[in-house]
Structure 1
Amino acid sequence: MSRPDPAFWSGKRVLLTGHTGFKGSWAAIWLSALGAKVTGLALAPDQAPALFDLAGVGGVVQSRIADLRDQAAVERALKGQSFDLVLHMAAQPIVRTSIEDPVATFAANVLGTAHLLQTLRGQPALQAVLVITSDKVYANNEQGRAFQEGDALGGKDPYSASKAAAEIVTQSFARSFFDKAGVPVATARGGNVIGGGDFSRDRLVADIVRAGKAQGVTVLRHPEATRPWQHVLDCVAGYLVYLERLASDPAAPRALNFGPKPGGAEVTVGELATRATQALGAKPWCHEPDPNSLEAKALGIDASLARQVLGFESRLDAPAAVEWTMDWYRAQADGDEALVLVQDQIKRYESL
């Protein structure tokens, strides 16, 4: 199966937005290890601890702190720089935060994408752009069928709708401007990601780790819900392989799903939480229903097109993803350096 190619990435000038976030920090460290010259563009971390700080990501890449909701700030941050490839990961990623502040979520996820793409129109050496959206971009009728790339977009909560809107914005910029310039612009729809270093609010693994540290109990709103769980390294690997293909093949699809292996067993929130609490030695979780929640109960994505087109599929199933994740948190709690832990898991993943 395909994996990121160091020969391709060595010396490439890469703009990575969202490098201060959880997935962005993993991507920044991996790209740097592959030999890319990475410039990060994002807001400062909005939480403490943050993997960006723990792993010293600001010392691994050229870090630019700016708000993508501000067009002028984006232009100032990128002025005078030239990029070969762009991986746009910056976003407001939490569903419940989008309920609390929908306008800010639309501003970050929709206008932020538009501002970036508008600024990139002036990049003469650009080879490809990949915009990361979400598995939640599809109009979910709760029938449990895994969504394919050609299914209708939608979203009943502001986060999902903002990501679906970002898809449309990206398509419009591609067709109006970038296609004419011969620059492929595409979207990647990733599943629910877990991995070491996620300390975000309202994220399952982060909640379990916090509860375990405090000797408390993790509260689940929807333990029966299904999600397309994948380890952060599987997700980021798919993005990088996709960018490689976009830069070399004008016929590459302009949207791909990335998630668990096609045909794999569905894993509920409760099942994953049970594995995680047991691996961490934490107390069992409890269930407190949220009658006002708009979150989908069933969600699955079909990643078979990525396997067909890219020769790529996830290597870690849900049990392995939980094991790698909890190994990371236990080692970090025991005093191991976060950067070394990330680098070691990257090397281990590359050797699979």
Structure 2
Amino acid sequence: MNGIVDPQFWAKKKVFLTGHSGFKGGWLTIWLATMGARIIGYSLSPKPNPNLFEVAKISSLCESSLIGDICDLNSLRNAIIKAAPDVVIHMAAQPLVRYSYENPIETYATNVMGTAHLLEAIRSCSSVRVVIIVTTDKCYENKEWVWGYRENEPMGGYDPYSSSKGCAELVTKAYRESFFSENEYANHRIVIASVRAGNVIGGGDWSADRLIPDAIRAFEANRPLIIRNPLAIRPWQHVLEPLSGYLVLAQAMFERGVEYSGAWNFGPQDSDARSVKEVIELLIREWGATTTWTQDGAPQPHEAHFLKLDCSKAKQVLNWRINWNLEKAITTIVEWHHAYSKGGDMLAMTCKQIESYNAW
């Protein structure tokens, strides 16, 4: 593998993408569309307002854009059977840690049973060759050590969100071994992998309780940004970094089979595991903001202090590489949101940044 996303491979490939109305799913939909893929999106209605899905007119890029809930097995199964995709990429999720404290049952239902429903639906669809299950770096049992977590580390999770993603990993492994085993590959012809990324950032993210969107809202309102844990260290990466890994991995799985199944990390370089305080100060400088930040003194629910991924497997086996460091990621985010504030064509802006990433 040369580690580079191949547009020719994706041209005319039929891709069933859950969560295409979300931030990360929106960026992937646009990238796939630029390569000529046939996209069937399946997700809940987009939120919040504004959102990337509507701002960039993403539904227009899909062969079919379906509003549906992954917790509805029959609806999901019928949609996949009708679509008859080559590749399934599962991104639909409840993605927020703090929300999971307030809504734990919804979080487990979506992230655990939703994943089980997706895998169960695939059992009824003979066209599928590749399945990518997107989880998170927070699926690991976090011991707050300085080393990056490898794919064979134990699953865990202190909060409902993190543990739900650890559970999703276990569900994926169980389905792979029970119904899509390597020994029976000649019969089922389906390869399944799970992928884990760091703290993903990029233009078009307006989610609540995420650092960059919260900061941009504060800058635009000219009010101080309130930070919960300024010294917490996270592996920050532009959204295109892990997406490139998912696309490279999917091609390897399609062309070479079960040797590429299993779990994969697609995190940033070690130097981009930085504190919340550092990230905000970078963003303030790049934005040209006159506001400052202050720490929230109220009691906070538990969140991991230190987390880092070891991506040696992806780099050595797939020759996957990281194109943009944190400084470049921050620059592109500011560029994107300044263009949005001026009424720019945000689909064109997003395509421009994807093109720039590919040329880096």
Shift of residue 31, structure 1, vs aligned partner: 0.4
Please point out which of 102, 105, 110 is paired with 1:103.
Answer: 105
What is the aligned residue count? 351
Whether the 8 Å CA contact 2:77–2:122 is kept in 1: the answer is no
In structure 2, what is the Cα distance between the partners aligned to 1:46 and 1:278? 29
| Residue in 2 that maps onto 1:157 | 159
AA of the residue aligned to 1:226: I
Whether the 8 Å CA contact 1:190–1:235 is kept in 2: the answer is yes
1:257 aligns with 2:255: no
| Residue in 2 that maps onto 1:30 | 31
In structure 2, what is the Cα distance between the partners aligned to 1:21 and 1:351? 26
| Residue in 2 that maps onto 1:139 | 141
| Residue in 2 that maps onto 1:56 | 57
| Residue in 2 that maps onto 1:276 | 283
Higher helix share: 2
In structure 2, what is the Cα distance between the partners aligned to 1:115 and 1:316? 35
Shift of residue 27, structure 1, vs aligned partner: 0.2
CA displacement, residues 130-189 of structure 1 (integer Å, 9 cap, x when unaligned): 000000010001123211111111001000000000001011111111223131111000
Please point out which of 166, 171, 174 is paired with 2:173.
Answer: 171
Please point out which of 195, 201, 206 is paired with 2:208.
Answer: 201
In structure 2, what is the Cα distance between the partners aligned to 1:38 and 1:266? 33
Tell me the secondary structure at the aligned position of residue 271 of structure 2. coil
Percent identity over paired residues:
40
Shift of residue 264, structure 1, vs aligned partner: 2.6
| Residue in 1 that maps onto 2:227 | 220
Shift of residue 271, structure 1, vs aligned partner: 0.3
| Residue in 1 that maps onto 2:190 | 183
AA of the residue aligned to 2:33: S
Whether the 8 Å CA contact 1:303–1:313 is kept in 2: the answer is no
Shift of residue 290, structure 1, vs aligned partner: 4.7
In structure 2, what is the Cα distance between the partners aligned to 1:265 and 1:44? 33
| Residue in 2 that maps onto 1:14 | 15
CA RMSD of aligned residues (A): 1.2
In structure 2, what is the Cα distance between the partners aligned to 1:272 and 1:292? 20
| Residue in 1 that maps onto 2:296 | 288
Tell me the secondary structure at the aligned position of residue 195 of structure 2. strand
In structure 1, what is the Cα distance between the partners aligned to 2:321 and 2:67? 33
Shift of residue 289, structure 1, vs aligned partner: 4.0
Shift of residue 79, structure 1, vs aligned partner: 4.0
Tell me the secondary structure at the aligned position of residue 20 of structure 1. coil
Tell me the secondary structure at the aligned position of residue 282 of structure 2. helix
| Residue in 1 that maps onto 2:344 | 336
In structure 2, what is the Cα distance between the partners aligned to 1:324 and 1:197? 11
Whether the 8 Å CA contact 2:77–2:124 is kept in 1: the answer is no
Whether the 8 Å CA contact 2:86–2:129 is kept in 1: the answer is yes
In structure 1, what is the Cα distance between the partners aligned to 2:78 and 2:254? 26
| Residue in 2 that maps onto 1:5 | 6
Shift of residue 253, structure 1, vs aligned partner: 4.5
| Residue in 2 that maps onto 1:318 | 326
TM-score, reference length from structure 1? 0.97
Whether the 8 Å CA contact 2:199–2:234 is kept in 1: the answer is yes
1:192 aligns with 2:199: yes
Task: Give the unaligned 5+ runs of structure 2.
Answer: none
Tell me the secondary structure at the aligned position of residue 302 of structure 1. coil
The structure 1 segments of at least 4 consecutive aligned residues displaced by more than 6 Å after TM superposition are none
Q: Which moved more, 1:173-182 or 1:101-110?
A: 173-182
| Residue in 2 that maps onto 1:246 | 253
Tell me the secondary structure at the aligned position of residue 193 of structure 2. strand
